[in-house]
Amino acid sequence: MAEHIIEREEDAVCFLSYALDGSWDDSDIVKFSGWPKFELIISGEKFDGGVPTRIMPLLIEVQRLLNNIYARQKYGKRKRLSQEERSAIEIIVRLSDEHSTYFGVDLDKVLNGVCKEGIKKMSGTQITIVILSIAIIIGGHQIAKLHYQDLADERNLELSLEQSAREQQTLERIQQAANRSDDIKMLLSELGAVYELLIKKLEPEDELIVGEEAIVNGAIAKKLTRKPREAAIETRKDGRFKIQSVDTQAIEGGFRLKVKQVGLDEKPFVVDIPPNTLNEEQID
């Protein structure tokens, strides 16, 4: 049996690769030392080591996520943690730099304890894949970048959160782990939701920093959290209609009509008339 010390993300990715590729000895164990840490910084005029009330509910969600991860891995289900356990994974808040508040928690001892419990329920390879994946996901910033880039792409926004070649390789390994573990799939989904919540209350001048890398500012965050518009569905409806109102300002060069079909007990609906389709005499 060999004990492998994990002091940084590169170590974790290396040993995760061994486990995923079938090169891991089931009797070997990993031990975290000084890493990982869940860390993020929010900078802005109102962040001087404190937490504006608009951020507090979001911070509670982050703490809940960490508690649930711990409970699922140690006990196999969500459950109320003891005071000692909650204290071990309690997020610490402190001043980072001027107008910057740090939120973080050291997770090395916690994950070492979870690993000892997990080995009783899973093979050495299985627990190694799960525990190293959790460490990389929570201790890194790639998932935050990936999530915000996906949000931007869905909304056709210009946002360039490029992943380096090493980061891409890390994400590929995490995806492989997720394909083997429902726990990792659930964690990725939950963390994505938390990252989205984190930016909902940012003001335009605020900035979110994950893993020492500035990810998004408040101005971009507002666009990212706005629901994408659903594509309009074009339909044809024949019959006689009564025009209830005409809006000449809604569509440049065209009209927006509110109409109701004559003889049918249906709600009125809106019809957009493109430019150069009808003139005002035809509408009258």
Tens-place pLDDT, residues 101-140: 999 999 999 999 998 888 788 888 999 999 999 999 999 9
Amino acid letter, residue 1:
M
> Strand ranges (DSSP E) for the chain?
3-6, 29-32, 37-43, 92-95, 100-106, 207-210, 213-217, 241-247, 255-261, 269-273
Two tokens at 88? 């071990």
CA atoms within 13 A on the CB side of 19: 28
Position 230 confidence tier, pLDDT thresholds 50, 70, 90: low
Percent helix, strand, coil in the chain (nearest 5)?
A: 45, 20, 35
Query: What's the rounded Cα separation, in Å, for the pair 6 and 14?
Result: 10
Nearest to 191 by CA among 173, 210, 214: 210
pLDDT at position 224 over 60:
yes
What average pLDDT score do residues 58-86 get?
90
The residues near 267 (Cβ < 8 Å, ≥ 6 apart) are 260
- For the chain, give the mean pLDDT: 88
Whole-angstrom CA distances from 7 to 104, 124, 135, 276 are 17, 20, 11, 67
How far, in Å, CA of 141 to CA of 144, rounded? 5
Query: What whole-number distance in Å separates Cα of residue 81 and Cα of residue 160?
Result: 40
Cα separation, 227 vs 272, in Å, equals 22
Q: Which of 103, 135, 182, 175 is nearest to 31 (CA)?
A: 135
Please, what is the angle between helix 124-139 and helix 165-180, to 10°?
A: 130
Q: Which residue has the higher pLDDT, 199 or 226?
A: 199
* Banded pLDDT at 10 (limits 50, 70, 90): very high
Average pLDDT on 64-68 reads: 92
Report in angstroms the alpha-carbon separations of 202 from 46, 47, 51, 156, 220. 11, 11, 12, 21, 10
Positive or negative, the CA dihedral 152, 140, 175, 180 is negative
- pLDDT tens string 212-222: 788 999 999 99
Backbone angles phi, psi at 110, to 5 degrees: -60, -50
pLDDT of residue 279: 62
